[in-house]
Amino acid sequence: MKKRRERIDRGIKARSEDVYALASWREMLYLAGPRLLPAAAFLLLPLFLGAYWQKVMISVAVFALLAISWDMLAQTGMISLGQALFFGMGAYVSGILNVYFGMPPWITIPIATVSGGLLCTLILRPVLRLRGIYFSMVTLIIPLMLVRIIEATKIFGGTEGLSGMTPLPSTLVEIYLVTGVLLGVLFGLRRLMETDYGLVLKGIRDNDRSVTNAGINIYWFKTQALFIASTIGAFAGAFMTHVYMFVGMPVFALDYSILPMAAAVVGGGGTFAGATLGAVILVPMSEALRGIGGLRIVMYGLFLVVFTVAVPEGLFDYIQRKYHQMERWVEIDQ
């Protein structure tokens, strides 16, 4: 007797795109569980972690924010290779405000978030008309250029950078600030992309001529998406400045561009949750592998290749699909 695996969609009785008919606590848990679980994990874990892993968790949240910011651009059809621009801009603005003007973190972080985002948007605005690889190339170059400008002109501390920023009150404050923002951004953007506004943004990615033909100025909408994405990245930078109590040329380093993109690819783009999941996997792994020195990069590369080949849809989409399916073995004749 042969057997084959049968997959059944484990649906709630009436489930469509945005309408749920909930009949029991079990169904509610089925829906809310996957949303509550990561939120609870982010909020409770810091209380049980040691000092070292608390720092790792901050790093996870920061890279998750950068990966979400990357995903936001990707969903609007812009592939960025320069998340470091957003990160670095936020970091320098809050550092400058704190060191030169003596503003406290609770003022510098919000100002740096918004003005950093605005600055990045203004810088990239002229290249929004470029499509595909040309846009990516420009985003890759700009942060590298800024590093050289700082080096050559010796502004803002030059190669030394600025140090001695006011720290945040405690590590727990740091963690809860950044994870709070992360959860807000994650669920907020997921909701935003489900609205008609989000549909227009995704439309630009899929077929920008068709959106133009609907009488919509795609450059204005791309600018808005760019502002949202760069603001998120600038927050991450502004926050990290006060955690490290230092800002310098490394904030424009390639790491801040590549790791977020890798996280979004491993976790799967288009959902924000995938980008977050990717950061949750990659950042601690990269910490754990620190011991093996140079081989870390090799392991890291292998891991990326394995994931992109084995789960090209991204880990999150894979898990989501499995969550909504039941499998069972059924006997077949012949």
Closest C-alpha to 245, from 164, 161, 168: 164
Which range in 38-46, 56-64, 210-218, 248-256 contacts other proteins by CB under 8 A?
210-218
Per DSSP, the three-state class of 15 is strand
- 137 vs 200, beta carbon nearer other proteins: 200
- Nearer Cβ to other proteins, position 219 or 300? 219
Q: Does 21 bind other proteins (CB under 8 A)?
A: no
Question: What is the total count of residues that contact other proteins (CB under 8 A)?
Answer: 19
- When asked if residue 9 is in the footprint of other proteins (CB under 8 A), the reply is no
How far, rounded to the nearest angstrom, does the alpha carbon of residue 60 sit from its chain's CA centroid?
10
171-194 and 273-288 are packed helices; what angle lies between their axes, rounded to 10 degrees?
Answer: 150
Binding segment (CB under 8 A) for other proteins, from list 114-122, 202-210, 252-260, 308-316: 202-210
Based on the shown chain and the rule CB under 8 A, indicate whether residue 212 belongs to the binding site for other proteins. Answer: yes
Q: 27: closest CA among 39, 10, 40, 41?
A: 10
* Of the candidate residues 26, 209, 290, 328, the single one contacting other proteins (CB under 8 A): 209
Q: How far is the CB of 148 from other proteins (least distance, A)?
A: 36
**114 burial class (0-12, 13-18, 19+ CB within 10 angstroms)?**
middle
Does 20 sit near other proteins (CB under 8 A)? no
Footprint on residues 233-262 left by other proteins (CB under 8 A): none
- List all residues 6 or more positions away from 281 whose beta carbon is below 8 Å from its beta carbon: 263, 266, 267, 315
Site string for other proteins, 260-299 (x = CB under 8 A): ----------------------------------------
Placement of tokens 């503003």 in the chain: 103
Piece of 21-29, 104-112, 183-191, 196-204 that binds other proteins (CB under 8 A): 196-204
CB of 280 to other proteins, least distance (A): 27
Binding-site member from 128, 211, 277, 279 for other proteins (CB under 8 A): 211
Contact 167, 248 (CB under 8 A): no
CA–CA distance, 191 with 198 (Å, rounded to integer): 9
**Residues near 70 by beta carbon (within 8 Å), at least 6 away in sequence:** 80, 83, 229, 260, 261, 264, 275
Q: Which residues form the interface with other proteins (CB under 8 A)? A: 17, 196-197, 199-200, 202-203, 206-207, 209-218
